Amino acid sequence: MKKKRITQRFPFLIPIRKFQRKLFFYVGMIFDSNKYSKKILDDTFDYKVYSTKSKMINPKSGFDIQYQINKVDNLKLVANTISKIVIEPNETFSFWKLARKAEKYGSYKDGLAVVDDQVINVKGGGLCQISNLLFWLFLHTPLTIVERHPHSAETLPHQEGEIPEGVDATIAEGWKDLKVRNDTKDRYQILLEFDEEYIYGSILSDTYQNIHYRVKSENLKYTKENGKIYRYNEIYKIWYNSDNYPIRKELILNNKYEIQYDIESELGIIIGGN
């Protein structure tokens, strides 16, 4: 039998534990020798390195659509702290270093979040959509991924779009962050924008980029193991020169995800396995 954590045995300790983790989390950033990005410019850089978009409302969630609507408001709050941020050479971008200030622009609403592999509604839920989008953007740059955490399972149907399965970055304040470091001589800037349906993300630079990148999923398969369904796939990053010729290909993620919704009926197949 799996041993229960102390907060599972004594739930009244959860607020104290969260406060403690957040305190250590942010104090640790003060003394970790990283220089964190904090400069936001009103103007945007001239050169677009990469851009993408993500549909904000997922009608297949199976939950009250109000949580999806609330999520949109939560995403916009966080975007206020991140959009137009500049990542200078030798600086580190931290999602939470910036996002912790989001509530000065308004109050978080109840949205869906994954806690202990269960989908529940929590205040500020849904922020993983913006961290997923940022991670996808970062993969199309020369920025160095310092910290990224995958989801342990896929609890909701994959949102349609260009971001492939298995390219995600979960975040949890005090526990899990998304960080990238600028080890180049160029300056980069994040731009986040919204319309009624999509969030749009771009990475900009003040310098023309001679190298560009593509990220693709290969060898996608589903298996059933001990009554559970898993998705496997490999994520590759490909470097292209100014003549659009591939010069390097690297396996960056080798994924295995448990699928916790009815993927068999969605795909219209019977998945083999044991």
Q: How much is the pLDDT for 270? A: 52
Higher pLDDT, 94 or 260: 94
Q: Which residue is it, tokens 């969030």?
A: 199
3-class secondary-structure state, position 8: helix
- First and final CA of the chain: distance in angstroms? 23
Residue 5 pLDDT grade (very low, low, confident, very high; cuts 50, 70, 90): low
Helix axes 128-139, 65-82, angle to 10 degrees: 50
At 116 the pLDDT is 66
Average pLDDT (132-144) is 98
Q: Judge whether residue 231 has pLDDT over 60.
A: yes
Tokens of 101: 């200030």
From CA 128, how far away is CA 120, in angstroms rounded? 14
Classified as helix, coil or strand, 171 is coil
Q: What angle do CA 47, 51, 54 make, to 5 degrees?
A: 160
Residue 105: beta bridge partners? none
Tokens (6 digits) for 175 = 């526990």
The DSSP secondary structure of 244-273, one letter per residue, reads: S-EEEEEEEEEEEEEE-S-HHHHHTS---B
pLDDT score for 273: 58
pLDDT band at residue 41, thresholds of 50, 70 and 90? very high
| DSSP string of 100-166, one letter each residue | TTGGGG----EEEEEETTEEEEEETTTTHHHHHHHHHHHHTSSPEEEE----SEE-SPPPPSSSPTT
pLDDT at position 4 is 60
Q: Tell me the average pLDDT of the chain.
A: 88
Structure confidence at residue 147 (pLDDT):
97
Residue 22 predicted with pLDDT over 90: no
pLDDT given at position 47: 97
C-alpha dihedral (6, 9, 14, 18), degrees to nearest 10:
30
In this prediction, residue 25 has a pLDDT band, given cuts at 50, 70 and 90, of confident
Closest CA to 264 of 117, 157, 150: 157
Indicate whether 62 pLDDT > 90: no
CA distance linking residue 226 with residue 163, whole number of Å: 29
**What does the pLDDT read at residue 59?**
78
Query: pLDDT band at residue 103, thresholds of 50, 70 and 90?
Result: confident
DSSP secondary structure code for residue 42 in this structure? S
Structural contact between residues 168 and 148, judged by C-beta atoms closer than 8 angstroms: no
Q: Which residue has the higher pLDDT, 172 or 240?
A: 240
**pLDDT over 70, % of the chain:** 88
The answer to whether the CB of 255 falls within 8 A of the CB of 234 is yes
Residue 125 banded pLDDT, cuts 50, 70, 90: confident
Determine phi and psi for 65, rounding to 5 degrees. -60, -20
Single-letter code of the amino acid located at 218: E
